[in-house]
Amino acid sequence: MTIEDRDCKLCNGTGVRTILGETHVCRACGGSGRRPAPDEAGLEEACRGRGGRLRSTRPRDDRAYYVWRMARVRAGVDERIPVLAALLVYGDPFRPELDALAERLAVAHLGGA
């Protein structure tokens, strides 16, 4: 555990969730109760396609997908509501940092915000 880790917001740092009376391992943190800080350079690289622009297809990583999708929405490229992207990072304590990265990518790569 490092200083950059934060408690998972989905399970409140316990690593488990109780749903309808049944206890389950938290899907967001994998049962550790903590989430590691995002690697912003790695996320930006995962969102980048040919020619240094934002890729046209979805990245595989959930955090990268969220950043990529929100950047496209903020730049006006996608007009659909990013429900799946929000669900994939639900409970992530670093969501404000992911939003800030998406904003920077929207401005830098697509000229919008």
Closest by CA position to 81, among listed 98, 69, 93: 69
Asked if 43 and 70 sit in the same domain, the reply is yes
Count: domains in the chain:
2
Average pLDDT over residues 86-102: 95
Asked if 95 and 59 sit in the same domain, the reply is yes
Asked if 42 and 80 sit in the same domain, the reply is yes
Asked if 55 and 90 sit in the same domain, the reply is yes
Pick the residue with more confidence: 109 or 3? 109
Integer Cα distance of 78 and 98 in angstroms: 18
Asked if 12 and 33 sit in the same domain, the reply is yes
Asked if 76 and 106 sit in the same domain, the reply is yes
Closest by CA position to 66, among listed 50, 52, 45, 87: 87
pLDDT above 90: percentage of residues in the chain = 77
Asked if 7 and 52 sit in the same domain, the reply is no
pLDDT in tens, 40-63: 999 999 998 888 788 889 999 999
Asked if 27 and 43 sit in the same domain, the reply is no
Which structural domain range is residue 61 located in? 38-113
For residue 112, the model assigns a pLDDT of 54
Radius of gyration for the chain, computed over Cα atoms and rounded to the nearest angstrom: 15
pLDDT in tens, 8-52: 999 999 999 999 999 999 999 999 999 999 999 999 999 988 887
Asked if 59 and 111 sit in the same domain, the reply is yes
Asked if 44 and 71 sit in the same domain, the reply is yes
For residue 75, the model assigns a pLDDT of 87
